[in-house]
Structure 1
Amino acid sequence: MTAFTRWFAAVGLALLLALSAGALRAQDGDLSYESWETVAARAEQVIENGQASDAALEDLRSTVAGWRETFLQAESTNATRIQTLQSQIAALGEPPAEGESEPEEIATRRAELNDELGRLQAPVRQAEEAYTRADGLIREIDEMIRARQADELLSLGPSPLNPSLWPDAAHALADSWHSLWSELRQNVQSEVTLREARRDLPVILLLVGLALLLVIRGPAWMRMAINWLRRSTRRGTGVWGFLLSLGGIVLPFAGLVLLTAALQATGLAGVKGRLMLEQLPAWGGALLLIGWLADQSFHQNDDIATLPLPQAQRREARYYSNLLAVLFVLRSAGLTTAEIFSYSDTTRVVLDFPILLLCALMLSRLGHILSGLTPERATEGTLLEGSHFRLRLARIIGRAAVVLAVVGPVMSAIGYDAVGQATVYPAVATLAVLALVLVLQRVVNDFYELVTGKGAQDADGLIPVLAGLALLIGALPLLALVWGARVADLTEVWARFREGFTFGDTRISPADFFTFLVVFVIGYALTRLTQSGLRSSILPKTKLDPGGQTAIVSGLGYVGIFLAALIAITAAGLDLSSLAIVAGALSVGIGFGLQNIVSNFVSGIILLIERPISEGDWIETGGTHGIVKSIAVRSTRIETFDRTELIVPNSDFVSGRVTNYTRSNVLGRVVMNVGVAYGTDTRKVEEVILRAVREHDMVLLNPEPMVTFEEFGADSLNFVIRAVIRDVGHILVVKSDFHHEIARRFKEEGIEIPFAQRDVWLRNPEVLFDRDGGKAPKLAADKTDTAPQDEAARARTEAQLSSRSEAMPTGRAGDDDPGGSPTGEGGDGR
């Protein structure tokens, strides 16, 4: 388990060396290119020979990377002065064409500026050349190291299942323990060693007593504190319980450190024994850390557990995790022993295979448990409850763990031990890292609940989700190291990130991007603040209508965002002049592919400026009535009277016909038809209707309402009411009131409201009777002679037979009827 410690230490040391090297050289002011030439020549010679060890290559790469960082910083030397000179030269105009001349003063000044520009650009060009050389050397070193790693990974070695190799491995292991025992026995028999041990005995006993107390009682104390905290309070127990649970690791680990110091103080361990004792805290810390992760991930309490498993499977998973911790410690002890006693590669493979096999077995069992996670089996209150994506990801990881647990031992048994170790152990470490991420995300959720008083899952908080994403991104470098990435690979990614990327002729670094982001966010915030002030404080005190206020606020928002982006680009020092070709290509693309979007955008600006429609207006477009709710850049949102949302592109308002019922005012005219029976006094009807209309409180008397006698209809005398009301939004209510009032007054005055009537004539009435002249009806459905039917049956029979004849409306006998009507003339419709 010392691998994690080495990885973290290596990462920190590499970053520190790279940053300090660049800082020291930057402080020198003048770069010593002679020293760099020496380093570069030595690096090229080492690469050409190809005999250096991996450690030597890593040291050489670190040195070259420091120089590369220095050259990158030197590329920005005199950047402001160079930009000023280029602007001065551009101000002089284009140089004359060949064969032409320009005024002597301008030519002299142009030459002076060009000479000064060349002098200032010389160190920049030299730094760029040196940077390119250093970057190439680093790439060559990386390729050489990766090639060696690939060859080592794919090299076929002895199989650990070969019985002929077992005796040598057993002898080597026995000799190691015999050597350690011999050192211990020799020191015990030494009078000098015993005398020094007796002299330090009080200190040794004190250290041992404190160590045993912390190791044995420390976890129990922390559990008692956590239980007391849960009983005493509910809010914040997750955060405080997590901090106290860390004490269950810190106290025993401190005890192991004290115990190691006590054993070393005795002096009984020899040289090799002291090397083994130095690893004791690391081994104990590994056991404690993995046990803590297993307890937090598979805790019996649902409020603490991060995986939604039943209680039985949680106990099983904790058991397998603790066994894996023991196996990892045994493997680390085996590696330490092999390094101290210089085991052969064959002995290492044979001794590591049983541990590899047991680790694969535990990994397979954990993979089966994870692959069984389903939403139906999710335990309420756990972190993954209700998160189908996380459950699906956990199942995928579980299945992958099962596959790797099978592939690793098989490859190691064949002889590819490097492949087996690079498969099983990183898979176990990956599970540990992901478990740590879930535990930390649980702590973030508990902290969010402590601060806000709301559960992270119940409140759908964005902060816990982003924190979980940040934790996962932060774990990626550790996962890369687990799966065999070098520390140099991570530092190279960081260097590339700091270097930035080239966009046209402009290099954009993270600092430039951060400056752009900060300035744009500030400008955006100021724009929104100004909009809010105008909307709430200034514009309501003016005489502008609500639509005009909305237009001003929206227009200010567009202008503010544009200015914020422009200022941010300028502040970041981004030169976008080289993007003219790209902008031209985009213009062509906009003209062909995005013309509808651009048309809607321009139409939205026109709507905001001209304001033919405003928010709150009642409009009609495309046969649909509704109220304008918002006017955006691309479209306008209309709420219909059915309470549905209608999204209309802005171009439809600019190029199409739109009826706005409330544009200038809310006045509107009611037009309604009324019919009365023929023979009614028309002047009396007009007087009754006009009186009913005038007395309505929504009708304006200026202009006067009007009732006109329109026409002699087919069934009635038709009158039309025209009246202007105060609010056109109440037009349906007003029409309904008119109907009720007119119907009441007509009833009081005895005025009849007619309804249409029609007479039906039969073309062939003889079919109602027998052909022999009898008067009994001939039933269509009657197949035998029956008794005469009653009048109801006769009526039904006539109705059936009438469907076989044509119906003709009343009026004159139809010209189409040769026989004419029985009366010779039609009815009058009443």
Structure 2
Amino acid sequence: MLRFLFPLCALLLWLPMAGLQAEQQEPSLQERTEAWRATLTAAQAALSNDFEERSLAEVMADLRRLQVETQTVRRDSRARLREVERTLERLGPAPAEGEPPEGETLRGLRQELRQAATEFSDRASIAEAAEARAADLQESIAAWEQERFRSRLAELLPRPWMPEVWHRASLEGLEFVNALISAPVDWWEEHRRAGDAAQALAVLIVLPLIGLIAGWPLRKWILRRFGRGQETAPTYARRIVAAVADGAANAVVPVVIIALVVLALTLQGLLTGQMALLVYVASAALAAYLVFFGLTQAALAPYQVAWRIVPVDPARVRLLLGAIRITALVAVAGTALLTLMLYTGRHTPHLESVFFLLLTTGIGITAGWTLSPAYWITSVEESQDGGSVEEASERLADAATEAEQDDTRPLLDVARSLLRTVVVIAPFGALLGYGRLAYFAQSRLLGTAVLIGLGLLLRLAVRELIQQFYLNQPIRRYGAAGVRAPSQSERSVQGMIFWTGLVADLLIFVPLVYLLLLLYGVPPTTLLLWTQSLFSGITIGGFTLAPGNFLIAVLVFMAGLIATNIVRRWLTRTVLPNTRLEFGARSSIAAGTSYLGVGIAVLLAMGALGLDFTNLALVVGALSLGIGFGLRNVVENFVAGVLLLIERPIKVGDWIIIGQHEGTVRHISVRSTEIETFDRAAVIVPNAELISTSVINWTHKNRMARERIPVGVAYGSDTEQVAQILLQCARTHSKVLRAPPPVALFVGFGDSSLNFELRCFIGDTDDFMTVRSELHFALEKALREAGVSIPFPQRDVHLHRPARRDSTRPDEGDSGTTQPST
């Protein structure tokens, strides 16, 4: 029997190692090592030669490819090594001396497993070393890029005030212009000889029409859905959305046309040589200018002042719009020419010096004109008022006088003044020979202002869209003075608006930070390394703690909560009301959907954080051990606290009654809940009692409360009149809700009175005792003025004394009776 059992066990142990046979088809360890060493050596050589023979992008692509490959090999080798070690553990130790020797099959399997473990360990170590070397080379390349960038910025160019500099720059500029002009001619001749010139011309004619047909309906839909309507006094958030929609709609048609033309020409291989570079740069510059043109016109709104979103002088808004357009045209055209100059190799020192002087001077004049204080005021509301230039000057003078008296200036005005100062003095740096540094400071500051402005406008627009999405139903108002009965669903919606807005802010401003870093010259290699370090983190045991993973986990959890809320609202408002299920069943389905969604969101967040779900068994085991050692009450209160925080039957601020305690919930922890009584005493209640016992929560679903005021009137009173008096007192009170309406009930015949009861609702439980007292005063006064008496109970009390046993006179032994009335 043992003769067949050992081979069977060996076969079962060998099955997990079936994947080892696939290693024969993969490259050997020596081949991988030689390939990695060649890649690292070539990258080091390219760095040492300042990337003269190989481009930096090519080297970085090879290093990233090597890094990905080494990470894959290292992880796979570590996993297979653990698998081999577990198999060796299941085999047990080898027989010692004096014990029966193991069979040939097991001995061969053990030896093969040991060889595989050694190979996997060596492979993981070599891959880890190659990965570390690739990371070091990337850091060295990033440092080289930063040093090269700083040196180029600080490089002194020929001073443009010298005549020979202008002479050489004019000659080199003419050569550059001739090269740009000859590029389309050469391209046309090339394709005419190849016979596809007619095809290119057809593309240039047909695709703009296709773009117009595709973009025009989209433009109309955007304007109709989000654009400016007929409102005479729209809110500021509504104006933000309309400005973004109007700017995007007016720019989308030409941008779509440009993108279609360029994409079609590229896919068909019709863009070649310098013509391709010229088309790409010109298209990007034209699209950027059109988008900026559309957004600027929408924000200033020169013809629809009610929709203006920036505080500009109403009398000079058209001049400001022209100044902004000229500034954008100069900046975009100059940047496009500079890009062409760099990529065509025409950026000689003399040409750069004169070009930077002209460009910074043009931008300084136009941007200084745009940032002039004569165009900007401090209030958007004042910007919506008309007026002449003289009136605007008077308002600006008055505002300046008030600012001098207050000795304070708005932060926006200070930032605008500093920006204008830097932009205006930048040409003097170019005149001294530091044209690159001057253009860098000037363009980056203006680009920062534009990006931050666009980011803030986009944030406001997204916030408005989020509020419109969640608050798509009107809020009902009740009561004589507009008192509203708040509900828990409205508070939940406000919370979802906050969290959704927070996620939107992260999605807007994180890319904005990356764009600003790229704008200020941080090399892409450095940004890549920063991102890798952000997501690599530190390893503690088998868990890697990384800030990037934590951020992703938070975003995943928030997105899961938002999606859960959307699905629940869809079920509650659209699906479940159309079914035949009763209200309780519909509520249970909605609650179950919420719990399921939250659970899935938690699991996804844990997966994004990098937690191993197998470790949950350790947590459960430790919890069971703690319960076994007498921590049952602690664990019970802990679980109850978690249920309270998730299910939220009791919330901070609720008015509850549990047992003999009544008060307001001040704090909920995972072990106990603090209740503050109306005598300002703190009662600490274990969470398990709040779960296992009945709790009266006055503010669970909403803060509405019902007042029940019993009133007794004398027999013979007009009951209809009494009911009208009760209703009139309730209706005239400002804090009594009209929906549900107050009710006066004739509840029965008492011993000495006709018993009535006034029932009405108030919107806030905080006013419970105050409203009750005020209603008592009002009812007593109204009944007294109407001549309706409120009786008090009357009783006959008989005092009986028993006769004495001794002989007395007859009159001394009689018992007396009295009939006092109370």
When the two structures are superposed, what TM-score results if normalisation uses the length of structure 1? Answer: 0.51
Does 2:314 correspond to 1:311? Answer: yes
RMSD after superposition: 7.1
Does 2:511 correspond to 1:474? Answer: yes
Number of the residue aligned with 1:158: 158
- CA offset digits 1:428-450 (Å, max 9, x no partner): 22333334434544654565477
Number of the residue aligned with 1:783: none
**Matching residue within 491, 497, 501 for 2:528:** 491
Does the CA contact (< 8 Å) of 1:618 and 1:626 recur in 2? no
Number of the residue aligned with 2:419: 401
Does the CA contact (< 8 Å) of 1:448 and 1:455 recur in 2? no
Number of the residue aligned with 1:126: 126
> 1:294 is matched by which residue type in structure 2?
T
CA–CA distance in structure 2, aligned partners of residues 371 and 635 of structure 1: 58
Does the CA contact (< 8 Å) of 1:160 and 1:353 recur in 2? yes
Q: How many correspondences in the alignment?
A: 582
CA–CA distance in structure 1, aligned partners of residues 509 and 40 of structure 2: 39
Shift in CA distance, 73/695, structure 1 to aligned 2, threshold 3 Å: farther
Does 2:367 correspond to 1:359? Answer: no
**Matching residue within 288, 308, 333 for 2:290:** 288
CA–CA distance in structure 2, aligned partners of residues 566 and 280 of structure 1: 45
CA–CA distance in structure 1, aligned partners of residues 374 and 505 of structure 2: 20
Shift in CA distance, 146/341, structure 1 to aligned 2, threshold 3 Å: closer
Number of the residue aligned with 1:333: 337
**Matching residue within 251, 269, 276 for 1:246:** 251
Shift in CA distance, 319/91, structure 1 to aligned 2, threshold 3 Å: farther
Number of the residue aligned with 1:324: 327
CA–CA distance in structure 1, aligned partners of residues 354 and 524 of structure 2: 29
Number of the residue aligned with 2:682: 648
- CA offset digits 1:278-336 (Å, max 9, x no partner): 75444433432321232233333467655344534643442232112221314533653
Q: Structure 1: state its 5+ residue gaps.
A: 1-24, 96-100, 382-390, 542-552, 584-597, 609-613, 655-659, 663-693, 699-729, 734-739, 754-830
For the residue of structure 1 that corresponds to 2:76, the secondary structure is coil
> 1:418 is matched by which residue type in structure 2?
R
Does the CA contact (< 8 Å) of 1:310 and 1:377 recur in 2? no
Does 2:441 correspond to 1:423? Answer: yes
CA–CA distance in structure 2, aligned partners of residues 322 and 516 of structure 1: 42
For the residue of structure 1 that corresponds to 2:675, the secondary structure is strand
Shift of residue 153, structure 1, vs aligned partner: 1.9
Number of the residue aligned with 1:635: 673
Shift of residue 67, structure 1, vs aligned partner: 0.5
> 1:44 is matched by which residue type in structure 2?
Q
- CA offset digits 1:391-417 (Å, max 9, x no partner): 988567535533532563343333322
> 1:636 is matched by which residue type in structure 2?
E
Name which of structure 1's ranges 336-345 and 422-431 shifts more when overlaid on structure 2.
336-345
Shift in CA distance, 371/661, structure 1 to aligned 2, threshold 3 Å: same
Shift of residue 232, structure 1, vs aligned partner: 8.7
Does the CA contact (< 8 Å) of 1:370 and 1:394 recur in 2? no
Shift in CA distance, 741/520, structure 1 to aligned 2, threshold 3 Å: same
> 2:61 is matched by which residue type in structure 1?
S
Number of the residue aligned with 1:767: none
Does the CA contact (< 8 Å) of 2:71 and 2:128 recur in 1? yes
CA–CA distance in structure 1, aligned partners of residues 606 and 196 of structure 2: 69
Does the CA contact (< 8 Å) of 2:796 and 2:821 recur in 1? no
Does 2:354 correspond to 1:350? Answer: yes
Does the CA contact (< 8 Å) of 2:312 and 2:377 recur in 1? yes
CA–CA distance in structure 2, aligned partners of residues 574 and 68 of structure 1: 28
Shift in CA distance, 742/201, structure 1 to aligned 2, threshold 3 Å: closer
CA–CA distance in structure 2, aligned partners of residues 245 and 440 of structure 1: 17
Shift in CA distance, 393/176, structure 1 to aligned 2, threshold 3 Å: same
CA–CA distance in structure 2, aligned partners of residues 293 and 661 of structure 1: 57
Shift of residue 344, structure 1, vs aligned partner: 2.7
Name which of structure 1's ranges 65-74 and 500-509 shifts more when overlaid on structure 2.
500-509
Does the CA contact (< 8 Å) of 1:82 and 1:117 recur in 2? yes
Number of the residue aligned with 1:41: 41
Does the CA contact (< 8 Å) of 1:619 and 1:626 recur in 2? no
CA–CA distance in structure 1, aligned partners of residues 466 and 459 of structure 2: 10
CA–CA distance in structure 2, aligned partners of residues 55 and 173 of structure 1: 29
Shift in CA distance, 497/487, structure 1 to aligned 2, threshold 3 Å: same
- CA offset digits 1:707-739 (Å, max 9, x no partner): xxxxxxxxxxxxxxxxxxxxxxx9xx9xxxxxx
Does the CA contact (< 8 Å) of 1:71 and 1:131 recur in 2? yes
For the residue of structure 1 that corresponds to 2:55, the secondary structure is helix
> 1:507 is matched by which residue type in structure 2?
T
- CA offset digits 1:234-257 (Å, max 9, x no partner): 899788756632334337747997
> 1:128 is matched by which residue type in structure 2?
E
When the two structures are superposed, what TM-score results if normalisation uses the length of structure 2? Answer: 0.52
> 2:336 is matched by which residue type in structure 1?
S
CA–CA distance in structure 2, aligned partners of residues 223 and 516 of structure 1: 36
Shift in CA distance, 162/37, structure 1 to aligned 2, threshold 3 Å: same
Number of the residue aligned with 2:60: 61
CA–CA distance in structure 2, aligned partners of residues 64 and 446 of structure 1: 45
For the residue of structure 2 that corresponds to 1:650, the secondary structure is strand
5 Å-filtered alignment, 1:13-32, equals: 32=32
For the residue of structure 2 that corresponds to 1:156, the secondary structure is coil
Seq. identity, %: 16
CA–CA distance in structure 1, aligned partners of residues 214 and 323 of structure 2: 24
For the residue of structure 2 that corresponds to 1:637, the secondary structure is strand
> 1:135 is matched by which residue type in structure 2?
A
Q: Structure 2: state its 5+ residue gaps.
A: 1-22, 232-237, 386-408, 475-489, 573-582, 623-633, 645-653, 689-693, 697-750, 756-772, 777-790, 798-816
Q: Larger Cα Rg: Structure 1 or Structure 2?
A: 1
Shift in CA distance, 631/312, structure 1 to aligned 2, threshold 3 Å: same
CA–CA distance in structure 2, aligned partners of residues 336 and 185 of structure 1: 14
> 1:351 is matched by which residue type in structure 2?
F
> 2:526 is matched by which residue type in structure 1?
D
Shift in CA distance, 36/537, structure 1 to aligned 2, threshold 3 Å: same
CA–CA distance in structure 2, aligned partners of residues 185 and 521 of structure 1: 50
Does the CA contact (< 8 Å) of 1:219 and 1:247 recur in 2? yes
Shift of residue 353, structure 1, vs aligned partner: 0.9
Shift of residue 86, structure 1, vs aligned partner: 6.0
> 2:353 is matched by which residue type in structure 1?
V
Shift in CA distance, 185/380, structure 1 to aligned 2, threshold 3 Å: closer
CA–CA distance in structure 2, aligned partners of residues 233 and 80 of structure 1: 66
Shift in CA distance, 88/620, structure 1 to aligned 2, threshold 3 Å: farther
Does the CA contact (< 8 Å) of 2:74 and 2:125 recur in 1? yes
Does the CA contact (< 8 Å) of 1:214 and 1:251 recur in 2? no
Shift of residue 359, structure 1, vs aligned partner: 1.3
CA–CA distance in structure 2, aligned partners of residues 450 and 471 of structure 1: 19
Does the CA contact (< 8 Å) of 2:314 and 2:384 recur in 1? no
> 2:323 is matched by which residue type in structure 1?
Y
Shift in CA distance, 325/647, structure 1 to aligned 2, threshold 3 Å: farther
Shift in CA distance, 34/284, structure 1 to aligned 2, threshold 3 Å: same
Shift in CA distance, 511/452, structure 1 to aligned 2, threshold 3 Å: closer
Does 2:432 correspond to 1:414? Answer: yes
